């Protein structure tokens, strides 16, 4: 199953809105065929492995597959039919189909055909492959994930604003891999003005990859006639989407569109982008995951409005101990631990001396926003 997970990962970022899936066939303790789902619309992993085998499997052959085989006739036909027709009599399955309408039906269909089914093998690791897909299917909404790089005392930058680099090169390489996975990435206007980021995935041996790049800028303060940010002028500018409000100047909107940049104008009572409407628009556009990279103002607003679903927290062994340095989050009034926000399904990884903690965000029943200290807009 570990090998099947490796196979699934070969399509990292290429299968949206479909999941990544790996499959292999074992005869007499030896892997004789491998397959993975390469891209949306392409054959499923099970069919790829059977095609690679190119002959009838030997009696006693097993198939290992990271996700429960589909039993409904989509664009490519049910995989359970292909397995039944192949003559394979044993199927080892990682994660169960996250769609409640289909979950364990694949197991049942195979068992009814007299095939032995071994479910839940490395189930958590197999499910972790498809964080975005699982959320999209179950919540029918995009996975909004926040990435932060902080010190041990939870700071994002020194009081001077210096933040390059808190985490080490290995952590930053891992961030590049997540950028390659998510179909979209997002930052606030403050980050664009201060850092002029490129927001692409740059991985060794691979061409630079550009996800959709969202800039939250309610009043288009990033549009500077004298020096436009790289996001609006580089070769990937057609992949930049400025999310703004009806309070921004129409001339600026036209200017961005003339540059080839996309603009979403969302109606708002204030100059701040309404986050629930942004989510709705992502649903309409079929964007199933967004990776948020800051900064503090935007991400605190998302947190206060319960808009983040997942957190990636890279922590470096560094302490600033300066109350004027930039905190990861702010603006809540948390009197009791029960009012805190928790992570579930936590995963820990080390990158040299840095640690990544990542997991699903679980909000308490009510969050108390301290309006005096923080304006949500
Ligand atoms: N260590 C890390 O992981 C990390 C990651 C990214 C950034 N950073 C650092 O963070 C700093 C920038 O952060 P920042 O807090 O100044 O700016 P920011 O969060 O990047 O941008 C905030 C701005 O976004 C606009 N916005 C639009 N809709 C919004 C909404 N619904 N809610 C909140 N804001 C909305 C607002 O512009 P208006 O004021 O015009 O309304 C707001 O001021 C930089 O120094 C950067 O280096 C650190």
Preceding amide of 234 cis, omega within 30: no
Whether 230 maps to a domain, the answer reads yes
Looking at 95, 128, 161, the residue that finishes a domain is 128
Find the catalytic residue in 6, 27, 34, 46: 46
Whether 374 maps to a domain, the answer reads no
Element (H, E) at 231: helix 230-233
Determine the structural domain holding residue 16 and report its residue range: 2-128
pLDDT on residue 369: 86
To the query of whether residue 225 is one of the catalytic residues in this protein, the response is no
> Between 79-86 and 45-53, two packed helices, what is the crossing angle to 10 degrees?
30
- For residue 4, how far is its CA from the centre of ligand 1 (angstroms)? 40
d(CA 17, CA 20): 10
235 plus 282 within the same structural domain = yes
Tokens of 334: 């948390």
Q: Ligand 1, from 216, 224, 357: best to mutate by most atoms within 8 Å of Cβ? A: 216
243 plus 348 within the same structural domain = yes
How many domains are there within the chain?
Answer: 2
pLDDT on residue 374: 54
57 plus 117 within the same structural domain = yes
Looking at 107, 128, 149, the residue that finishes a domain is 128
Q: Ligand 1, from 188, 192, 252: best to mutate by most atoms within 8 Å of Cβ? A: 188
Whether 133 maps to a domain, the answer reads no
28 plus 159 within the same structural domain = no
d(CA 296, CA 188): 9
Residue with CA at minimum distance from ligand 1 atom 44:
191
228 plus 358 within the same structural domain = yes
Residue with CA at minimum distance from ligand 1 atom 43:
190
Residue 184: beta bridge partners?
212, 290
pLDDT on residue 376: 43
The CATH number of the domain holding residue 57 is: 3.40.140.10
Q: What is the position in ligand 1's atom list of the atom closest to the CA of 272?
A: 28
Whether 377 maps to a domain, the answer reads no
Looking at 94, 128, 162, the residue that finishes a domain is 128
Whether 135 maps to a domain, the answer reads no
- For residue 169, how far is its CA from the centre of ligand 1 (angstroms)? 24
From first to last of its 377 residues, the chain has per-residue pLDDT tens of 999 999 999 999 999 999 999 999 999 999 999 999 999 989 999 999 999 999 999 999 999 999 999 988 776 678 999 999 999 999 999 999 998 888 899 999 999 999 999 999 999 999 999 999 999 999 999 999 999 999 999 999 999 989 999 999 999 999 999 999 999 999 999 999 999 999 999 988 989 999 999 999 999 999 988 889 999 999 999 999 999 999 999 999 999 999 999 999 999 999 999 999 999 999 999 999 999 998 889 999 999 999 999 999 999 999 999 999 999 988 899 999 999 999 999 999 999 999 999 999 999 998 888 866 555 44
Whether 197 maps to a domain, the answer reads yes
159 plus 244 within the same structural domain = yes
CA-based nearest residue to 133, from 67, 72, 226, 60: 67
Q: Could you tell me the pTM of the whole model? A: 0.94
Whether 170 maps to a domain, the answer reads yes
């Amino acid at each position: 199953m570990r090998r099947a997970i490796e196979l699934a990962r070969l399509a990292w970022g290429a299968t949206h809105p479909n999941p990544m899936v790996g499959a292999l066939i074992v005869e007499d303790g030896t892997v004789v065929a491998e397959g993975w789902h390469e891209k949306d619309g392409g054959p499923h992993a099970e069919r790829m492995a059977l095609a690679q085998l190119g002959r009838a499997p030997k009696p006693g052959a097993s198939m290992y597959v990271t996700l429960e085989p589909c039993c409904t006739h989509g664009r490519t036909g049910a995989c359970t039919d292909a397995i039944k027709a192949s003559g394979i009599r044993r199927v080892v399955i990682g994660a169960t189909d996250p769609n409640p309408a289909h979950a364990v039906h694949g197991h049942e269909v195979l068992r009814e055909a007299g095939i032995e089914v071994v479910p839940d093998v490395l189930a958590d690791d197999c499910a972790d492959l498809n964080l975005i897909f699982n959320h999209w299917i179950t919540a029918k909404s995009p996975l909004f994930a926040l990435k932060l790089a902080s010190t041990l005392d939870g700071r994002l930058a020194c009081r001077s604003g210096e933040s390059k680099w808190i985490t080490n090169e290995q952590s930053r390489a891992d961030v590049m891999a997540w950028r390659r996975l998510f179909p979209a990435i997002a930052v606030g206007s403050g980050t664009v003005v201060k850092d002029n980021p490129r927001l692409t995935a740059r991985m060794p041996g691979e061409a630079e990859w550009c996800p959709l790049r969202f800039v939250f800028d309610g009043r288009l303060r990033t549009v500077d006639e004298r020096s436009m940010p790289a996001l609006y002028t580089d070769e990937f500018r057609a992949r930049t989407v400025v999310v703004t409000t009806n309070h921004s100047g129409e001339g600026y909107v036209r200017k961005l569109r003339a540059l080839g940049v996309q603009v979403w104008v969302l109606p708002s009572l204030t100059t701040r982008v309404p986050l629930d409407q942004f989510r709705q628009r992502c649903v309409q556009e079929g964007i199933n995951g967004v990776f948020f990279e800051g900064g503090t103002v935007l991400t605190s607003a998302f947190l206060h409005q319960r808009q983040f679903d997942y957190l990636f927290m890279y922590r470096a062994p560094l302490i600033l101990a300066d109350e004027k340095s930039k905190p990861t989050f702010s603006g809540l009034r948390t009197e009791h631990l029960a009012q805190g926000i928790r992570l579930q399904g936590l995963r820990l990884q080390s990158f040299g001396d840095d640690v990544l903690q990542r997991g699903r965000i679980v909000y308490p029943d009510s969050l108390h926003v301290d309006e005096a200290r923080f304006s949500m807009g």
